[in-house]
Structure 1
Amino acid sequence: MPFRYLVLVYMVIYFLGWVVFTFWWQIAAEGCEAKELTFRRAFLLSLETMTTIGYGVADPFFDDCRAVIPLLVVQSLLGLLMDTVFLNLMYTRLSTAFTRASSIIFSDTAVVFEEDGCVKLSLRICEVARRPIIEPIVRMYAVWHQDLPEPTELVDVDVRPMVLETPNISIADGKLFLTLPTKVVHRVDSVSPLALAPTKLMGIDDFQHDMACLDYLEILVVVSGSCPITGNSLEARHSYSKENLRYKSRFAPCVRILEGAHQVDFEAFHETVPLKC
Structure 2
Amino acid sequence: MLARKSIIPEEYVLARIAAENLRKPRIRDRPRKARFIAKNGACNLAHKNIREQGRFLQDIFTTLVDLKWRHTLVIFTMSFLCSWLLFAMMWWLVAFAHGDMDPSTESPTNSTKWTPCVTCVRSFTSAFLFSIEVQVTIGFGGRMMTEECPLAITVLILQNIVGLIINAVMLGCIFMKTAQAHRRAETLIFSRQAVIAVRNGKLCFMFRVGDLRKSMIISASVRIQVVRKTTTPEGEVIPIHQVDIPVDNPIESNNIFLVAPLIICHVIDKRSPLYDISAADLALQDLELIVILEGVVETTGITTQARTSYIAEEILWGHRFVPIVTEEEGVYAVDYSKFGNTVKVAAPRCSARELDEKPSILIQTLQKSELSHQNSLRKRNSMRRNNSIRRSNSMRRTNPSLIVPKVQFITPEGSQSASET
Aligning the two structures, in what range does the TM-score lie when normalised by the shorter sequence?
0.7 to 0.9
Q: Specify whether residues 222 and 155 from structure 1 end up closer, same or farther in structure 2 by C-alpha distance, changes over 3 A only.
A: same
Cα displacement (A) at 1:90? 0.9
| 2:198 is aligned with 1:118 | no
**1: CA distance, partners of 2:68 / 2:164:** 25
Deviation readout 1:137-176 (Å, 9 max, x if unpaired): 0011223333456888x4454422212113x344xx5432
What secondary structure, in the 3-state scheme, does the structure 2 residue paired with 1:135 have?
A: strand
% identical aligned pairs: 28
Letter in 1 for 2:312: K
Q: Specify whether residues 263 and 17 from structure 1 end up closer, same or farther in structure 2 by C-alpha distance, changes over 3 A only.
A: farther
Identify the structure with bigger relative contact order (alpha carbons < 8 Å, sequence gap 6+). 1
Q: Any stretches of 5+ residues in structure 2 without a counterpart?
A: 1-66, 100-115, 347-368, 370-421
Q: Specify whether residues 108 and 71 from structure 1 end up closer, same or farther in structure 2 by C-alpha distance, changes over 3 A only.
A: same
Q: Specify whether residues 112 and 36 from structure 1 end up closer, same or farther in structure 2 by C-alpha distance, changes over 3 A only.
A: closer
**2: CA distance, partners of 1:247 / 1:90:** 46
| 2:131 is aligned with 1:46 | yes
| 2:301 is aligned with 1:218 | no
Deviation readout 1:37-81 (Å, 9 max, x if unpaired): 2678655643443234668356422x4211212211221121021
Q: Going by fraction, where is helix more abundant, 1 or 2?
A: 2
Q: Specify whether residues 58 and 242 from structure 1 end up closer, same or farther in structure 2 by C-alpha distance, changes over 3 A only.
A: closer
Please give the root-mean-square deviation of Cα atoms over the aligned residues, in Å: 3.3
| 2:145 is aligned with 1:60 | yes
Letter in 2 for 1:164: V
Deviation readout 1:89-129 (Å, 9 max, x if unpaired): 11221122222223211111111111332111111001223
The residue correspondences of 1:68-107 to structure 2 (distance < 5 A) are 68-107=152-191
- 1:242 maps to what in 2? 312
The one of 257, 274, 297 equivalent to 1:227 is 297
**1: CA distance, partners of 2:240 / 2:130:** 64
**1: CA distance, partners of 2:243 / 2:235:** 24
Deviation readout 1:180-225 (Å, 9 max, x if unpaired): 21110111123323213xxxxxxxxx7324535x532222211111
- 1:203 maps to what in 2? none
Asked if 2 retains the 8 angstrom alpha-carbon contact of 1:142 and 1:194, the reply is no
Q: Give the TM-score normalised by structure 2.
A: 0.53
Q: Any stretches of 5+ residues in structure 1 without a counterpart?
A: 197-205
Cα displacement (A) at 1:244? 1.5
Q: Report the count of equivalent residues.
A: 262
Q: Specify whether residues 156 and 60 from structure 1 end up closer, same or farther in structure 2 by C-alpha distance, changes over 3 A only.
A: closer
- 1:200 maps to what in 2? none
Letter in 2 for 1:251: F
- 1:189 maps to what in 2? 269
Q: Specify whether residues 158 and 26 from structure 1 end up closer, same or farther in structure 2 by C-alpha distance, changes over 3 A only.
A: closer
What secondary structure, in the 3-state scheme, does the structure 2 residue paired with 1:67 have?
A: helix
Asked if 1 retains the 8 angstrom alpha-carbon contact of 2:215 and 2:298, the reply is yes
Asked if 1 retains the 8 angstrom alpha-carbon contact of 2:193 and 2:314, the reply is yes
- Once the two structures are overlaid, the 10-residue window that deviates more, 133-142 or 48-57, is 48-57
Q: Going by fraction, where is strand more abundant, 1 or 2?
A: 1
